[in-house]
């Protein structure tokens, strides 16, 4: 029995949800990466698209089986696709702990939707991209399944080399775009967009034609392209990737899936978008750190880092590695860090069971070293520091800071420079 | 098919070919007499760092704080706009400590006022805003922007002596924001690590954002042509390909007998791909922008890459020794 085109479309749409990278180095311009920072569920991305007039499959969202059933009936569609909403990809081949196989199902019978939803909602879905225990499914998307006759790829991104927005497209959609870039680079098309002019009509039409849309569909696709660009600007996206941008037998141009990456720097003016962010599938330490305005990224090692300045933080991780150690994290305290943040950061680091030593590397310009010293001593006392602590301080008010640390009575190893600090941290571990 | 046109246009932008904006590179040169104003003057950061700059000897002649014009702050006049400040003081440079929501507009205001040098310290400006700034910037040649998200500029012009090494220089002009050390000691490198510093006797921090006003090549051109520059230290980080472009530039313009020694450190060898390491531009995406590739590219251009930032001074010192430049 031939798989319906809709199910093929669904399968391909899901492939788009898995993390993948693309670089179009041959054109030395666009580099698309399919990894979400601000994490939005599929239905949230699609809602944003709908609000910008982008054509997506009609859908409802449900968080309980009766609602899912209602939604299916309301859709009044030839065929329905039911999709578990989790951030990780690989949903199609995933398994629920209810026994249900597959996080995405197609059916022509609405009543089946209710039944399936009851085996999804509240259960854990495990896929190749989730942790072993899976992710709890809290919402499902009930959408109109559409047949797809042709799949194209389309993306808009902010590109450094072009100093602004760039559109990238290929008539070969629905598959690994980096393969296309590799094997058939002539099938990748690009348009540089002037930030003040926006997408010109001729650019949109040319891209639509290059994507293979013909006749009335060309104009329709061009219109969709412009709307996607409007969305891109409206939500301060750094990237909008649609794969596939498809053609239906009824002559519609539809965005079957999209991944939107957002500019974190724009959070202050994108409160609604950022409020949708779902942190439940993120690393809990990283989420906690974000609460305190600390930039934290967990790594695999056992030497925790505590640094001000992103460049210095990266360099600190590098130097630890250079001297034979393994950094447990990247942590940038930022410039105007307060004592409370120092305390919370320390709490986070010491709570990590992997951590066997802590390296503090502060080169204070705005940062007042005495504040760091006070925060550290307070944290060490209250949290009963059990691992070796190596501290290298330099900059504003450093003498006062050194005094605070030495008078604290805490077993702190002082270091003179970054190399010295890293060596001591590594030695502190191997000594045990 | 408009491929070839697109390609050409791409290459044009890629190789830093002369555009009218490159004509403003000469504005990167500052000295202790350069008159500076501060935008965001009366704010917390503006006040703190302006005072530091004044204490250090910078010629801070005024500041901008809309609505507070006419007052005096830190002993110098406050103006309502950059235009007024420039007219009132003859300032040739401005340093911006304005918060992210308004920083883009502050830069544009400075460009409109014809300010020769704009240094923007602010971190966190939305990329869209910076794209608009860049659009304006690239189509004119009066104003040079450094930053945003950068620590600033320092020019060093006095020697001080330690032991027998004449390599130490004390900075006398400071337009800088946070993390300004200003001293290179061959034994121990006391420099804060931020992306894009190019040291000579001066130091320009170009900042960690993906869209910024000055790149390595802009600085390299100035430093390579400056007879008083003996060596260059280039500090980079993951993300983008500015370092690779710099390597290409060095291959073309800094090879042969008269090549100046260039020493470099690239942060982020241990950074996991796909994560943004603090700076908006510090990300390895799509297999590109990694530290290894940058280091290789620089080495091929004759750059000596140090594996530790703490050894940049001593590495440079060795290069001087090798070339008998001491």
Give pLDDT, residue A85: 93
Task: Choose the closest CB to A195 out of B6, B135, B280.
Answer: B135
Is the per-residue pLDDT at B66 higher than 90?
yes
pLDDT band at A124 (very low <50, low <70, confident <90, very high): very high
Round to the nearest angstrom and report the end-to-end CA distance of chain A: 65
State how far the Cα of B97 lies from the Cα of A74, in Å rounded to an integer.
55
Averaging pLDDT over each range in A410-414, B69-73, B149-153, B240-244, which range is the top one? B69-73
Q: What angle do CA A319, A323, A327 make, to 5 degrees?
A: 60
Name the helix (H) or strand (E) containing A81.
strand A80-84
Q: Nearest-CA distance from B45 to chain A in Å?
A: 8
Chain B residue at shortest CA distance from A326? B270
Measuring CA to CA, which residue among A228, A222, A234, A236 is closest to residue A158?
A236
State how far the Cα of B24 lies from the Cα of B117, in Å rounded to an integer.
9
Whole-number percent of chain A with pLDDT over 90: 50
| Interval B197-224 mean pLDDT | 68
pLDDT band at B7 (very low <50, low <70, confident <90, very high): very low
State how far the Cα of A379 lies from the Cα of A373, in Å rounded to an integer.
10
**Region of poorest pLDDT, from A57-61, A120-124, A421-425:** A421-425
Q: How many CA atoms lie within 13 A of B205 on its CB side?
A: 31
The per-residue DSSP string of B169-209 comes to EEEEEE---S-------SSS------TTEEESSSEEE--S-
Classified as helix, coil or strand, B228 is coil
**Phi and psi at residue A333, in whole multiples of 5°?**
-75, -20
Interface residue B6 vs chain A (CB under 8 A): yes
Instruction: State if pTM tops 0.90.
Output: no
The per-residue DSSP string of B120-142 comes to E------HHHHHHHHHHHHT-SS
ipTM: 0.79
Chain B residue at shortest CA distance from A316? B267
**Region of poorest pLDDT, from A225-234, B159-168, B263-272:** B159-168
State how far the Cα of B135 lies from the Cα of B147, in Å rounded to an integer.
15
| Interval B272-279 mean pLDDT | 72
Residues A314, B277: C-beta atoms closer than 8 Å:
yes
**Region of poorest pLDDT, from A44-53, B263-272, B306-315:** B306-315
Give pLDDT, residue B164: 25
Interface residue B311 vs chain A (CB under 8 A): yes
**Region of poorest pLDDT, from B3-7, B54-58, B137-141:** B3-7
pLDDT in tens, B276-313: 776 666 666 656 778 899 999 999 999 999 998 777 77
B199 annotated active-site: no
Mean pLDDT of chain A: 85
Q: Nearest-CA distance from B52 to chain A in Å?
A: 10
Q: Which residue has the higher pLDDT, B65 or A310?
A: B65
Is the per-residue pLDDT at A209 higher than 80?
yes
pLDDT in tens, A331-363: 888 766 788 888 888 888 888 888 999 999 887
pLDDT band at A80 (very low <50, low <70, confident <90, very high): very high
| B 262-291 near A (Cβ less than 8 A) | 265, 267-272, 274-283, 285-289, 291
Mutate to test the interface with A, among B277, B288, B291, B315 (most CBs of A within 10 A): B277
A64 is in an annotated binding site: no
- Count the Cβ atoms, other than its own, within 10 Å of residue A268: 12
Mutate to test the interface with B, among A314, A331, A359 (most CBs of B within 10 A): A314
Instruction: Enumerate the active-site residues of A.
Output: 153, 241
| Interval A161-176 mean pLDDT | 89
What distance separates the 2 farthest-apart alpha carbons in chain B?
66
Interface residue B310 vs chain A (CB under 8 A): yes
**Residue A388: CB partners within 8 Å, gap ≥ 6?**
A356, A357, A358, A411, A413, A425, A428, A429
Task: Choose the closest CB to A335 out of B132, B178, B311.
Answer: B178
Residue with tokens 């251009």: B301
HEC readout, A105-126 = EEECCHHHHHHHHHCCCCCEEE
Mean pLDDT of chain B: 75
| Interval B108-134 mean pLDDT | 93
Interface residue B299 vs chain A (CB under 8 A): no
pLDDT band at A12 (very low <50, low <70, confident <90, very high): very low
């Amino acid at each position: 029995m031939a798989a319906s085109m809709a199910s093929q479309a669904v399968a391909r749409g899901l492939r788009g949800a898995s993390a993948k990278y693309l670089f179009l180095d041959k054109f030395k311009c666009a580099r698309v990466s399919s990894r979400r920072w601000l994490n939005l569920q599929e239905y949230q991305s699609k809602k944003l698209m709908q609000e910008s007039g982008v054509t997506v499959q009609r859908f409802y969202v449900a968080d309980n089986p009766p609602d899912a059933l209602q939604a299916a009936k309301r859709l009044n569609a030839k065929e329905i696709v039911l999709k578990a909403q989790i951030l990780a990809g690989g949903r199609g081949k995933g398994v629920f702990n209810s026994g249900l196989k597959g996080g995405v199902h197609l059916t022509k019978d609405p009543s089946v939707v209710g039944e399936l939803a009851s085996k999804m909602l509240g259960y854990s879905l495990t896929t190749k991209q989730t942790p072993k225990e899976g992710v709890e499914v809290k919402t499902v998307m009930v959408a109109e399944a559409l047949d797809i006759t042709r799949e194209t790829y389309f993306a808009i991104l902010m590109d450094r080399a072009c100093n602004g927005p760039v559109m990238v497209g290929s008539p070969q959609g629905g598959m690994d775009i980096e393969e296309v870039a590799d094997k058939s680079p002539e099938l990748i098309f690009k348009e540089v967009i002037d930030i003040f002019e926006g997408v010109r009509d001729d650019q949109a039409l040319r891209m639509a034609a290059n994507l293979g849309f013909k006749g009335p569909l060309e104009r329709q696709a061009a219109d969709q392209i412009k709307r996607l660009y409007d969305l891109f600007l409206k939500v301060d996206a750094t990237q909008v990737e649609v794969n596939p941008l498809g053609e239906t037998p009824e002559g519609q141009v539809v965005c079957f899936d999209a991944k939107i990456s957002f500019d974190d720097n724009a959070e202050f003016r994108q409160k609604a978008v950022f409020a949708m962010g779902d942190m439940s599938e993120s690393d809990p330490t990283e989420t906690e750190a974000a609460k305190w305005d600390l930039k934290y990224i967990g790594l695999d090692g056992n030497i925790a880092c505590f640094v001000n300045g992103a460049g210095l933080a990266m360099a600190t991780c590098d130097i630890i590695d250079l001297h034979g150690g393994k950094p447990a994290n990247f942590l940038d305290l930022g410039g105007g860090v307060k004592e409370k943040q120092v305390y919370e950061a320390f709490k986070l680091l010491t709570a990590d069971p992997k951590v066997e030593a802590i390296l503090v590397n502060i080169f204070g310009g705005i940062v007042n070293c005495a504040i760091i010293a006070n925060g550290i001593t307070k944290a060490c006392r209250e949290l009963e520091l059990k691992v070796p602590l190596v501290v290298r301080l330099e900059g504003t008010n450093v003498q006062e800071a050194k005094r605070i640390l030495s008078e604290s009575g805490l077993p702190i190893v002082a270091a003179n420079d970054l190399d010295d600090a890293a060596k001591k941290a590594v030695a502190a571990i191997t000594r045990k | 098919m408009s491929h070839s046109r697109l390609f050409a246009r791409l290459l044009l932008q890629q190789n830093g070919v002369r555009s009218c904006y490159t004509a403003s590179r000469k504005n990167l040169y500052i000295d202790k007499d350069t008159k500076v104003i501060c935008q965001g003057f009366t704010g917390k950061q503006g006040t703190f760092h302006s005072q530091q700059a004044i204490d250090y000897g910078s010629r801070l002649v005024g500041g901008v704080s809309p609505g507070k014009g006419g007052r005096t702050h830190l002993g110098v006049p406050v103006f309502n706009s950059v235009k007024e400040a420039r007219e009132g003081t003859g300032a040739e440079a401005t340093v911006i400590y304005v918060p992210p929501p308004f920083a883009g507009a502050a830069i544009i205001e400075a460009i409109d006022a014809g300010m020769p040098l704009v240094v923007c310290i602010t971190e966190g400006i939305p990329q869209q805003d910076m794209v608009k700034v860049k659009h304006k910037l690239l189509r004119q040649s009066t104003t040079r922007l450094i930053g945003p998200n950068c620590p600033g500029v320092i020019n060093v012009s006095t020697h001080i002596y330690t032991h027998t090494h004449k390599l130490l220089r004390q900075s006398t002009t400071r337009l800088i924001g946070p993390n300004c050390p200003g001293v290179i000691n061959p034994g121990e490198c006391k420099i804060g690590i931020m992306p894009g510093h190019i040291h000579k006797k001066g130091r320009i921090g170009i900042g960690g954002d993906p869209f910024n006003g000055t790149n390595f090549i802009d600085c390299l051109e100035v430093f390579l042509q400056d007879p008083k520059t003996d060596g260059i230290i280039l500090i980079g980080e993951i993300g983008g390909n500015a370092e690779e472009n710099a390597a290409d530039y060095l291959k073309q313009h800094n090879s042969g007998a008269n090549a100046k020694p260039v020493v470099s450190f690239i942060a982020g060898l241990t950074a996991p791909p796909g994560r943004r390491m603090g700076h908006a531009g510090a990300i390895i995406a799509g297999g590109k922008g990694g530290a290894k590739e940058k280091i290789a590219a620089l080495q091929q251009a004759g750059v000596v890459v140090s594996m530790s930032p703490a050894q940049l001074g001593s590495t440079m010192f060795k290069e001087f020794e090798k070339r008998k430049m001491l």
